[in-house]
Structure 1
């Protein structure tokens, strides 16, 4: 009888990562309970955006905690999707995750700075800041769906492509709702800057997705 080599993937670091993410979310809920209650109904009610979309919203600890929660879970979700489609080597799991986390954090930070710079250049910092806050808030909200998908993909339905497709659909749906509400709430303010807004979408929203899609396709 010949020995059969079997690759066993350690779940310890994934469990620790999920635990840290949940601690961050629980901390935000505990310290800012009223904000959390407004946030949790975000797709159905814009109260969170209307109440907190003001100067200093990006530096508020509740927003920062949610963004950390989002980065942890989005990085883990990208990692699990890559692993399910065999795009990464199994022996470098944790290293690959930290590379994804670092690249994603850098990408979102640079994108945020470019968006704020765009607002300064076109003298519409308040408008751009409001748009970015709304968009990031919906992305943070969709990270709850990412967290649930991560738990399912790690412990229950390992490498399930069905879970991946459902999770991606939910994420797109949540952010799509946010995009529609954003355009509806800011249509009058956006009209004088329509050409700038189209330029903003092409350079800072659509272009990165095209580049990522081309990379994955290649």
Structure 2
């Protein structure tokens, strides 16, 4: 009687990472059900922003859980996008780790610079509200990233069409957030137009230009 060797496959690192992000999402839904329901319909109803912008803003557990969910899925999305359009070794965890590190550093640097600008010009409250609005819509768009990541990993691998649809939805969600932000703060922006232009040039447009130039090279 010959022995039968049974091979046990280890879980793929992408599966583990996606599951970890899903844990953060599940905790957010379980612990903060009312916030989660308002958060899910954010592009169609701005209730979540109106109700929670003044209550803790960035420093509340639900927002932090959704931000962790966003960071993980944003990093995987960039990894899969890069793997689809450029030559990249499949399932390269080191590349993903670098992407996530750069993404976290990029977002933290922008946030610290914006708080520093708020301190200099005595607009800390306004900066906190702006950051809460922007990160909330980015966190919501990470739901699209999660679905796209699942499709790209398990269903339609390296599908450029799926990536294009996901990018369109992500940009649309964040554009809705930007439009509502400008509408809600139009009086403040007009009263501080010079500072608003300075803010756009130094903290929004310049980082994108630098990153775009780096990727182009």
User: TM-score category by the smaller chain?
Assistant: over 0.9
Q: TM-score, normalised on structure 1?
A: 0.92
1:54 aligns with 2:19: no
In 2 relative to 1, CA 201–115 (structure 1 residues): closer, same or farther, beyond 3 Å? same
Structure 2 counterpart of 1:96: 95
CA contact (8 A) 2:152 2:159 kept: yes
- 2:211 is matched with 212
Judged with a 3 Å threshold, the aligned counterparts in structure 2 of structure 1 residues 87 and 183 are, in CA distance, closer, same or farther, namely farther
Q: CA deviation at 1:55?
A: 5.5
| 1:184-199 paired onto structure 2 within 5 Å | 184-199=183-198
Give the corresponding residue for 2:86.
86
Classify 1:91/1:76 alpha carbon distance in 2 versus 1 (closer, same or farther; 3 Å): closer
CA distance in 2, matches of 1:166, 1:198: 31
4+ runs of 1 displaced by more than 6 Å? none
Correspondence 1:9-48 to 2 at 5 A: 12-48=12-48
Give me the TM-score of the superposition, normalised by structure 2. Answer: 0.92
Q: Deviations over 1:141-173 (max 9, x none)?
A: 000000011011111110111111111111100
Alignment match, 2:104 = 105
Structure 2 alignment gaps of length 5 or more: 1-9
Residues 87/109 of structure 1: CA separation in 2 closer, same or farther (3 Å cut): farther
Residues 89-125 of structure 1, C-alpha deviation per residue, up to 9 Å, x if partnerless?
A: x167100101111111111111111111111111111
Q: Report the equivalent of 2:165.
A: 166
Paired residues in the alignment total 208
Distance 1:92 1:159 in 2: 13
Q: Deviations over 1:167-213 (max 9, x none)?
A: 11111000000000000011012211111111111111111111121
The whole-number CA distance in structure 1 between the counterparts of 2:55 and 2:49 is 12
Rounded Cα–Cα distance in structure 1 between residues aligned with 2:87 and 2:74: 17
